[in-house]
Structure 1
């Protein structure tokens, strides 16, 4: 959306970063904010995931069976005291990523295409509707100076891009390069866009704090940090476009 001149490899790089970033966030939720309270739901969860693994690889998979298994996994994980978001991650990882039984396309891609409209048009708007209830009546100068607010904003605007640049540099030293034609400013712009947070950031905010005031402040900080990251990333990429046009 920022630039139509962006190299395809940079778009793929940003998409990969966004995906890996969300997966890491979900893993943090699994290990930091989950508190298993019962063994039986965990056993049921393992059974559901095992059935899903087998059913999703059958020549003729039953859609109704897969739906029931998915809901069973979600409920078992919720009953076990683990955030049910992880059930979607577990199920997604178990879907075959290569064509089976002389199929031309992988089932992971077909499931993605089938569920994308449901996710983008129903699930995400409903989540946004319930998650965006941020009261702004008490926001003032003192609020914006609180360590919680500043920590999140600085983490998104400076910490995320810095981490991406450091890891990109280390991968480059190891021989994993983005490709020719990319400049440092291009990578800096993409890294800056990685500071945009929404679903997983809001989810972690609601899990990390117990009082509603801190949750609201954290969500406000996510929005402010995301807007600043978007602005800085857009400016950096536009500067890169001007440089490329002059060359």
Structure 2
């Protein structure tokens, strides 16, 4: 089991590192499209209507909706299974293992939010974006780590991964609690019944993915109609997937589904999301745009808040003896990792769309803040770690 857990961890890192490169390419393409003669076609593509109906009941929406509410539900389904696996057999399986990344993640969510609130305290509409700088992008952060090769101690990689997983869980909770509206009790009840069916399937030893996929689709539809953001359904369904192998099986259904879906998530879903959401037009922008409360709050929250929150929480609780430093790591390296946590990007962009659904000018301001804060965090984090950590032997 230990060997399988290590192999799964290494596979995750490799996929996320490669996915980070594809993500960067998709972002560059989006920026090129939105700042070239292709801008009109780019925005027209994202607004093309798509309708799907069965037996007279259906869902319609632009391409942008299907990317953010349907494809991202699959992403969160994969994230949910990763969280479950970490809780059962990984770096979150005991308080001794989980204490430091949990505390660091909480500090890394709280301080950026407080910085954003302090910057935008006089603007009630802008305050809706308080959660934007609280997120960490796993793919980009792991991608930067991969550039450093063997310099990074394995325990430090595991710490960053566990912290980012907890950060994703925190984002899911924030989305469910603060970005739900017009709740439908009937739709939520139907979604709950679907979850109960999934739990019964699990309990009865069903190990085929088909029933879980069909019932999971039903749960997604119900959550979509309920007023809770549809991506929450992905995590709820993930919690019901069997995590133990059936009779005569080597791998559990959850392991098989992660193995099958993770490449699609890393190399298709997240790049498509980045392409659809990173298209910031620089045509009418100036340096003064960075002074906008939303842009400034997001940029400072990611670049400054993450460093203070993550490193400060680690320092306090390690000095108190509650947690222990990752093996082979020292404070300069911990600082570098804390800086990398300021790469918010895809998750921050996702929360920005939820925070300002009817204010595109604030979405653009948040995109600018996300770009500046994330790029600054990536560059500083990389150089801090490169010059503070010696080259390690690959043997």
Q: Shared fold (TM-score greater than 0.5)?
A: yes
Matched, 1:40 2:186: yes
Pair 1:54–1:161, CA change in 2 (3 A) = farther
Instruction: Find the aligned partners of 1:243 and 1:86 in 2 and give their Cα distance.
Output: 42
8 Å Cα contact 2:219-2:233 kept in structure 1: yes
- Structure 1, unpaired ranges of 5+: none
Pair 1:211–1:95, CA change in 2 (3 A) = same
8 Å Cα contact 1:34-1:81 kept in structure 2: yes
Within-5 A mapping of 1:126-205: 126-172=272-318, 173-205=320-352
Q: Give the aligned partner of residue 376 of structure 2.
A: 228
Q: Give the aligned partner of residue 147 of structure 2.
A: 2
Structure with greater contact order relative to length (CA < 8 Å, sep ≥ 6) = 2
Deviations 1:107-135 (A, max 9, x none): 33222111112212322222122112212
Instruction: Find the aligned partners of 2:337 and 2:244 in 1 and give their Cα distance.
Output: 30
Q: Deviation at 1:85?
A: 0.8
Q: Deviation at 1:140?
A: 0.3
Q: Give the aligned partner of residue 389 of structure 2.
A: 241
Residue of 203, 212, 215 corresponding to 1:69: 215
Deviations 1:50-69 (A, max 9, x none): 11122234434332221111
Q: Give the aligned partner of residue 219 of structure 1.
A: 367
Higher mean C-alpha displacement, 227-236 vs 61-70: 61-70
Q: Give the aligned partner of residue 167 of structure 2.
A: 21
Q: Aligned Cα RMSD in Å?
A: 2.0
Higher mean C-alpha displacement, 163-172 vs 110-119: 163-172
- Structure 2, unpaired ranges of 5+: 1-145
Deviations 1:66-96 (A, max 9, x none): 1111111111111001111111111222333
Within-5 A mapping of 1:103-122: 103-122=249-268
Q: Deviation at 1:199?
A: 2.3
Aligned residues: 245
Instruction: Find the aligned partners of 1:8 and 1:241 in 2 and give their Cα distance.
Output: 13
Instruction: Find the aligned partners of 1:243 and 1:119 in 2 and give their Cα distance.
Output: 32
Instruction: Find the aligned partners of 1:167 and 1:27 in 2 and give their Cα distance.
Output: 21
Instruction: Find the aligned partners of 2:321 and 2:198 in 1 and give their Cα distance.
Output: 37
8 Å Cα contact 1:56-1:66 kept in structure 2: no
Higher mean C-alpha displacement, 42-51 vs 163-172: 163-172
Pair 1:102–1:242, CA change in 2 (3 A) = same
Q: Deviation at 1:177?
A: 1.5
Instruction: Find the aligned partners of 2:206 and 2:192 in 1 and give their Cα distance.
Output: 23
Q: TM-score, normalised by structure 1?
A: 0.91
Q: SS of the residue aligned with 1:234? A: helix
8 Å Cα contact 2:155-2:327 kept in structure 1: no
Q: SS of the residue aligned with 2:239? A: helix
Q: SS of the residue aligned with 1:83? A: coil
Q: SS of the residue aligned with 2:189? A: helix
